[in-house]
Structure 1
């Protein structure tokens, strides 16, 4: 089956510089080689963060309501645009499934849900957010601890409702993409999926453009790359770790790249812990510039999906260290820690000891650096070719059968 002239769309709440958006760009670049035209659709576009490469067979379309994606006028505009442009397949990336209810009544465009996080991440996020807000706000502490918000968040009814939403999405969408086989197995077990339902769930490894000749002569730099958001990124953990080891690493620097709503807490903790040689560098669109100099990248999140910053760092010879917080992180670094270091969640002393060893043991770091360059081949753009072709063929054949039955 030929895909030349096929049109697809990637739907994001906002077109910004996050990992999910970078995955969509990489995927669209692959599709372009097959003659597939991609459109990126969101409620708002940040041109400083989300940039289409020159000569790329793609375009950007912004919906009329830029405050939020999830409005009826945006839904009507989206359906009309997909029909006008003859877009056959749309990938809903990290979005609210409820927005697409009754989709088949109004559109012939096939829908694929792309879950860019771990299954049931919402429960972990709500619990952690509640705890953190209570820590930094008296009002939130009263609500969380005295007015019963904690109990409401933790109860089994919340989890059951979340499972029902996941099952709804599997039925609602034509296909459902997860980030690794372990996530598919977790969803299948939790939801007791039938064999037919399991076939709709597809494991698709995120890919990157492999850096051909990365700089391996690194500076003594440790970097954090991500949003300055306590939940779930927990940059505060890294600040506590640095407090314990900074005096033992007088030649090393810690650099934070990112921005976010909790930047004020970042500055507060730097003063409180009296941290040295630490720099807030802001948001950076050119990640290669970061990875060109950095020796180690740190992640201290409570959970992730399949973090792109780790694989992008590996591709540039930067050694990752992270808490073993999810199957995605373990898949990237390796259960045997062949391409980085995993630390038991959320042991700050163990993390500090491991990071200190990485900095002080040049031989270990260089060996892991070489292992990262081998591991990055697991993320080559063509590794999913067969899965994509199978997905396209199934959706397009189903689409053609539907059109023929209506004649």
Structure 2
């Protein structure tokens, strides 16, 4: 098909990793002469740079109370028709009227899953009662005593989300995961459900790596003895508290090394209290940084201790600048990023003891650092925006 106008849809924009991917793809498409629209329910106006405003024709949804209500659905469908959008990227969110867009517009629909498949199941099975919406005493007791045990002992959650994703699959032209391993996991779980629609055509499912902007020179710089975390502060997902516990185990043995934590969020106060309680001596909370590049340049390692991830941008960005990824092996994306351990350290999930042991060993092994750092530079070439952008253009031709 011939494509002239490309649209993106986000719950909020800009925000996290999925939005960074859209920014990068938007740059590529605009450079190659495409018109780029962006629809969002919650625009973060203070984060919209002049560059982004030039790349994207941004269209906020009119109803700020009901994201998938009739008013927003009508606005989106009419706008897509009026603007003659050829392709619509739906980035991660499933709270959208897929069926209406499918029947009322001519746009080809591409849904991108920016996380590990069925991440919602893990999240709900491990969420604390205090973390549920409106955590009144009654709701917390009901969750802890009834819902959570049922989630863990049955396949109720797996079936619920299989049904949701089958609905998505039946209304999109392509369902895109972050790597082939995720596509295999996703297909396996959908087929296993046995639900109507689980026999979807395999060609509707594909994988695409996240594209990265070219590195800001110099990419190769002398490294400091810094272990870095960069990302959101969100306990149910990121579990930065684990990293602080790990640092407690190895800090005394490595007096020249520092832990630097870049980011912000609702958990910051609790993490700072935890650091004081653990009496950590060499830890720095650097706050939110628009540009994390200077930290990647200096860091030797970039660490995650998350419950789950998709294809974490911080590890990929770190690799571009020779920062070695360290993460639990709880998701297929880490095997893709580290090339099965050639350019990063994978730790058995969720062993804090093993994590501390492997990181402690790596801090002392300069030869390992040198070898992995060179492998990181090579691995990062896979994320080249121009190459991945061309893959997207090739996919358009198959729609």
Same topology, TM > 0.5: yes
Question: For 2:368 and 2:66, how far apart are their aligned partners in 1?
Answer: 47
Is 1:292 the equivalent of 2:289? no
Aligned CA distance change for structure 1 residues 331 and 267 (closer, same or farther; 3 Å): same
Q: 2:107 aligns with which of 106, 109, 121?
A: 109
Counterpart contact for 2:311–2:334, Cα < 8 Å: yes
Residues 329-370 of structure 1, C-alpha deviations (whole Å, 9 max, x = no match):
1110121x1111110001111111122222222222122111
1:377 matched residue in structure 2? 381
Aligned CA distance change for structure 1 residues 52 and 178 (closer, same or farther; 3 Å): farther
The equivalences for 1:14-163 within 5 A come to 14-51=12-49, 53=51, 57-67=55-65, 69-96=67-94, 99-130=97-128, 133=131, 139=137, 142-145=141-144, 147-154=145-152, 155-163=154-162
Between the two proteins, the alignment pairs up a number of residues equal to 389
Is 1:231 the equivalent of 2:236? yes
Aligned CA distance change for structure 1 residues 85 and 102 (closer, same or farther; 3 Å): closer
2:194 matched residue in structure 1? none
**What displacement does 1:41 show?**
1.8
Q: 1:265 aligns with which of 260, 270, 278?
A: 270
Aligned CA distance change for structure 1 residues 388 and 7 (closer, same or farther; 3 Å): same
2:187 matched residue in structure 1? 188
Query: For structure 1, which runs of at least 5 residues remain unmatched after alignment?
Result: 396-407
Counterpart contact for 1:111–1:175, Cα < 8 Å: yes
Residues 274-331 of structure 1, C-alpha deviations (whole Å, 9 max, x = no match):
2222122221111212212222111001111111111111001111101111111111
Once the two structures are overlaid, the 10-residue window that deviates more, 182-191 or 241-250, is 182-191
Question: For 2:65 and 2:296, how far apart are their aligned partners in 1?
Answer: 34
2:164 matched residue in structure 1? 165
Is 1:179 the equivalent of 2:178? yes
Q: What is the SS of the residue equivalent to 1:290?
A: helix
Aligned CA distance change for structure 1 residues 300 and 188 (closer, same or farther; 3 Å): same
Question: For 1:233 and 1:54, how far apart are their aligned partners in 2?
Answer: 28
1:364 matched residue in structure 2? 368
**Root-mean-square deviation (Å):** 2.4
Aligned CA distance change for structure 1 residues 198 and 374 (closer, same or farther; 3 Å): same
Once the two structures are overlaid, the 10-residue window that deviates more, 299-308 or 94-103, is 94-103
1:277 matched residue in structure 2? 282
Aligned CA distance change for structure 1 residues 67 and 226 (closer, same or farther; 3 Å): farther
Q: What is the SS of the residue equivalent to 1:321?
A: strand
* TM-score computed with the length of structure 1 as normaliser: 0.88
Residues 240-276 of structure 1, C-alpha deviations (whole Å, 9 max, x = no match):
0011111122222211111222223212312321222
Query: For structure 2, which runs of at least 5 residues remain unmatched after alignment?
Result: 192-196
* TM-score computed with the length of structure 2 as normaliser: 0.90
Aligned CA distance change for structure 1 residues 148 and 196 (closer, same or farther; 3 Å): closer
Q: What is the SS of the residue equivalent to 1:209?
A: coil
Question: For 1:386 and 1:256, how far apart are their aligned partners in 2?
Answer: 35
Counterpart contact for 1:91–1:114, Cα < 8 Å: yes
**What displacement does 1:380 show?**
1.3
Q: What is the SS of the residue equivalent to 1:248?
A: coil
Counterpart contact for 1:43–1:67, Cα < 8 Å: no
